[in-house]
Homo-oligomer: A and B are copies of this chain.
């Protein structure tokens, strides 16, 4: 590398450190030391290897950079400033109310694809983006910067396995091995060989370098670009707080603004006004064809019995035929969830992530960042494995569609480990989420199609066993709606149900009506947002609501209903799964959990 370039890169890295110190000082908090360790790495990446058009962040040819160590946000913002994307004034708004420069990066900034800050998520999401790039046949690269501490997260190894096995050569992981975690030294310290052995075993190309040597960094980044059929990990030995004696390579200097920023800035060579000329790729239109054809959903004959998971699977296959941007992701249970129907029809757009639910959801997040419409499915119970990824997807304002099959005690004999009984609570609590729970196959098909247009995290809950088809094919079920299935002006109470309990509620209502007690029944297929108008009407006319759900009493359908009517003050009785189930037939399970028709009848009688 010519002396002139070396000088520039060193000066640029100095500026990045200085600006990291300055912005953190202005904020009074932040992570300057974790930024300083990675400054040389990022200076060389931006000056020599990144291909990105800051004026057109939507250029499909742009590379993607994920700061998995999101706490190093001062470095990222310093880079944005050097690239001319933000002003120095904005840089100094770091962590202040209303600033786009948050403590951890989020897509409120147009150059940030996904929010980070929960460690170990950047690589799995990057895997999804690299998969998307391959599907789109676009030449972009995905660069992920992570810390050494976060390599303890299992999700990193789910991603390492998937990327290595798929040979995602368009993916490069840069590990800032600064030896110091938050609390103290990491497990492996500066033993980059320990990490190299691990990634090597997972099929990665590995490079170990001095992360403060621009020449070595340049070589390693170039090597990554030239490596075929394998992802590359660059293991860069660095010093946390590099360049400032007060904090350099010292414990106890994590996550704090420097005590004496002025001295630090002077020690780092003072404020500079360098710019970095990031290589701008030619604008390239989206080459992947999204051929939209007419949507022909599957149709199920009312009166027959079909599982809602089947309605989902067949509708997804139909959706795949109508839209080229729909992709399906599986956690090695596609035969059970029925995503298999899509896999058979569109093998190129079907992705098997194996039993790795964090990577499953992360891949969906990565692919949606490239404009795809991902559906990721596994057992409802096992989506809990990806809770943190779902939470962060919401912070990323990502639009992903999750499908959880085998919901509730209704699965029967397999027992509690396989029962999704907490999924509604989990998904309802996610910011901006949509939660749907169909009771028949036509409704499941319609909602599956509906989900394609939903922004944010949406969730479809399906049932293992066959349930009666009660709706006609072609009926629409808008998000936020509900269906009144039984209603007379004489109703003395209203049963609110969804999914498998709708059929129990109908049977109970018929039995009660025959016994002279008319009650209404609402199918609350949209658990979030909830049909407040319909519930208000029921609450104000009958004044008595009975909610029935195949879910824990906390956070599910019952809570959605009580919340919707809480300011009106009707009486609400909640039937839900309160005990710890064992093995039994589906019918026995519903009875034991006291969410079957008999339990509903008794609850209504007790209430009245």
Contacts and interface: CB of A to CB of B under 8 A. Distances in A.
Q: How large is the interface on A (under 10, 10 to 19, 20 to 34, 35 or more residues)?
A: 35 or more
Contact of A559 (B392, B563, B579): B563
B562 A103 contact: no
A542 to B, nearest CB: 12
A395 B553 CA distance: 16
Given A187-B165, A415-B102, A563-B574, A354 B392 contact: no
A584 B96 contact: yes
Interface stretch (A215-223, A304-312, A428-436): A428-436
A357 B121 CA distance: 13
A588 interface: yes
A113 interface: no
Contacts of A574: 563, 566
Contact of A332 (B102, B152, B334, B418): B152
B153 A158 contact: yes
Given A157-B157, A335-B183, A553 B563 contact: yes
Nearest to A203: B194
A535 to B, nearest CB: 13
A391 B426 CA distance: 12
A99 interface: yes
A324 interface: no
Of A120, A355, A580, chain B has the most CB atoms within 10 Å of the CB of: A355
A316 to B, nearest CB: 16
A242 interface: no
Q: What's the number of copies of this chain in the assembled complex? A: 2
A247 interface: no
Nearest to A101: B583
A208 interface: no
B573 A566 contact: yes
A356 B155 CA distance: 9
A116 interface: yes
B354 A187 contact: yes
A183 B332 contact: yes
A170 B97 CA distance: 53
A388 B385 contact: yes
Nearest to A186: B354
Contact of A571 (B102, B119, B431, B567): B567
A201 interface: yes
Interface in A185-210: 186-187, 197-198, 200-202
Contact of A108 (B198, B554, B582): B582
B413 A395 contact: no
B555 A428 contact: yes
Interface in A340-367: 340, 352-359
B555 A559 contact: yes
A182 B406 CA distance: 15
A333 interface: yes
Nearest to A152: B354
Of A117, A385, A431, A554, chain B has the most CB atoms within 10 Å of the CB of: A554
A395 B422 contact: no
A415 B555 contact: no
B569 A570 contact: yes
A149 B354 contact: yes
A508 interface: no
Contacts of A96: 583-584
A583 B354 contact: no
Contacts of A523: none
A156 interface: yes
Interface string A373-390: 000000001101101100
B115 A417 contact: yes
Contact of A154 (B156, B381, B382): B156
A569 B569 contact: yes
A10 interface: no
A29 B116 CA distance: 43
A183 to B, nearest CB: 5
Given A97-B585, A330-B183, A558-B563, A154 B155 contact: yes
Given A354-B181, A355-B153, A395 B416 contact: yes
Contact of A415 (B106, B186, B330, B425): B106
A179 interface: no
Interface in A409-458: 413-418, 421-422, 425-426, 428-432
B118 A417 contact: yes
A106 B418 CA distance: 12
Contact of A387 (B27, B359, B385): B385
Interface string A115-137: 11111100000000000000000
Given A70-B417, A103-B418, 16 more contacts: A30-B413, A98-B582, A98-B584, A103-B415, A106-B417, A117-B417, A152-B356, A183-B332, A198-B198, A198-B201, A425-B554, A425-B555, A426-B429, A528-B554, A554-B555, A562-B562
Interface of A: 27, 29-30, 70, 94-99, 101-104, 106, 108, 115-120, 149-150, 152-158, 161, 165, 181-183, 186-187, 197-198, 200-202, 330, 332-336, 340, 352-359, 381-382, 384-385, 387-388, 391-392, 394-395, 397, 413-418, 421-422, 425-426, 428-432, 528, 543, 552-556, 558-560, 562-563, 566-574, 579-580, 582-585, 588, 592, 607
The 10 closest A-B pairs by CB, nearest first: A154-B154, A117-B417, A555-B555, A97-B584, A157-B157, A425-B429, A152-B354, A566-B572, A201-B201, A387-B387
